[in-house]
Amino acid sequence: METNVLKKVDIIFDITDCDYLKILDRCMSKTQDEVILDIIDSGLKGRGGAGFPTGLKWKFTKNEDSDVKYVICNADEGEPGTFKDREILDRVPEKVFTGMAICGYAIGAKEGYIYLRGEYNFLKKNLQAKIDLFNKQTIEKNFDFTIFLRSGSGAYICGEESALFESMEGFRGEPRNKPPYPTIAGYNWKPTVINNVETLVYVSMICNLGPDKFKELGTKDSRGSKVFSVSGDTPNAGIYEIELGMPLEQFVDAFGDGDTKAVQVGGASGHCVPRKNFNDTIIGFEGIPTGGSMMIFNSSRSMYNVLHDYLEFFTEESCGQCTPCRVGCQQLLKGIEAVKKGDRKPSYLEELKKLALTMKSAAKCGLGQSVANPFNSIIDNFREEIIY
């Protein structure tokens, strides 16, 4: 980075020069493969947290031989500290619909679903009205693609793609074994592209302005910009779109309250970065990737309380299907409570860290696998706060 200033951009919420019907027309004047190549060429990676290359996902799904395929917009935004998708769906829903329709065209899907978390039901009325209008306009274009709205019912795990399919099919939101991946067998076990809300907006942007415009932003490993949800001990809590690849130090300079002791990057399932590492931590796929949650803690906060809160969260939200996650979350929580009370020696924390790593390799899905991220990073960096 040449400068010490955060590179803020305004793409996601910018509505000038963005006639979504024209964007659709332009896409449909290209072949399906050309559209997919544009997305691959842009370097866009999923904005929900996992960061899978979007274009590849589309290509794999397009290559599947099936009469029925689906596009799903994952709006089950439940990661603590994230609220960007709600803001996007509230302010620029048409951009999301356009991204879905482009995907539908590219992979050959006729139906798209938005799975909106139940906590955001207040958005439904307005969203449904805008979906109806959009559907009407695509019919008028003779473009066979219809968007439907579905709701969640208060389960964090349903943000995991295969759990989300299970939920849409009327089952308990328990993740499936992978493979097969959604590109082969997703919703109704048909080839499915499932993308995050924000990813779909960048798709519209790339199709509107071209992949080169997107590539100009960010770094070699982290193309483009990203919407960050900033919360915690900051005078500037809110939503900010920033180029990827920034050092955490710059972020803290811009958003901290002058007394920042740690930043939790990526929500409860992300990593805790202590002050001493701010300078050599890059926010992006070459460093710590994030779905956008940035929680800032100042020196008045107890990191024991933070970790305790996260573990309670995971214990409640674990679907209970696989033992490493179900039992692991409970034991980690009980474990730090026992160390705090003095019922266990501080060295017990090493045992707990091993348990967390076991969960990382043995749990069935991302929920159980990622508990080691906050657990080990908080224990390693704030051990004394956990013990005393």
* Positions in 325-384 near other proteins (CB under 8 A): none
CA atoms of 228 and 294, how far apart (whole Å): 7
Q: Token pair of 96, please?
A: 């999301």
Question: Is residue 388 a contact point for other proteins (CB under 8 A)?
Answer: no
Q: Which stretch binds other proteins (CB under 8 A): 7-15, 147-155, 206-214, 358-366?
A: 147-155
Single out the residue of 277, 268, 233, 294 nearest to residue 381, CA to CA: 277
Count of helices and strands (H, E) across the chain: 16, 11
Site size toward other proteins, by CB under 8 A: 51
In one-letter notation, the amino acid at residue 125 is K
120 lines the binding site for other proteins (CB under 8 A): yes
Output 230 or 322, the one with its CB closest to other proteins.
Answer: 230
Rule CB under 8 A: choose which of 83, 105, 145, 251 binds other proteins.
83
Min dist. Cβ of residue 162 to other proteins (A): 15
CA distance 88 to 162: 23
Question: For residue 144, what are the contacts with CB-CB under 8 A and spacing of at least 6?
Answer: 110, 138
Phi, psi of 274 (to 5 degrees): -80, 165
| Span of 144-152, 195-203, 329-337, 360-368 interacting with other proteins by CB under 8 A | 144-152
Of 213, 275, 301, 383, the one binding other proteins (CB under 8 A) is 301
Backbone angles phi, psi at 196, to 5 degrees: -70, 155
Q: How far apart are CA 211 and CA 97, in angstroms?
A: 19
Instruction: Report if residue 302 touches other proteins, rule: CB under 8 A.
Output: no
Q: Does 117 bind other proteins (CB under 8 A)?
A: yes
**Residue list 239-258, contact with other proteins (CB under 8 A):** 239
Contact call for residue 65 and other proteins (CB under 8 A): no
Count of beta carbons in the 10 Å neighbourhood of residue 279: 11
387 is an interface residue for other proteins by CB under 8 A: no
Instruction: Please state, in angstroms and rounded to a whole number, the distance separating the CA atoms of residues 325 and 366.
Output: 10
Q: Which residues bind other proteins (CB under 8 A)?
A: 77-83, 86, 117-122, 124, 150-156, 167-174, 188, 229-233, 237-239, 268, 293, 295, 301, 305-306, 309-310, 313, 316-317, 319
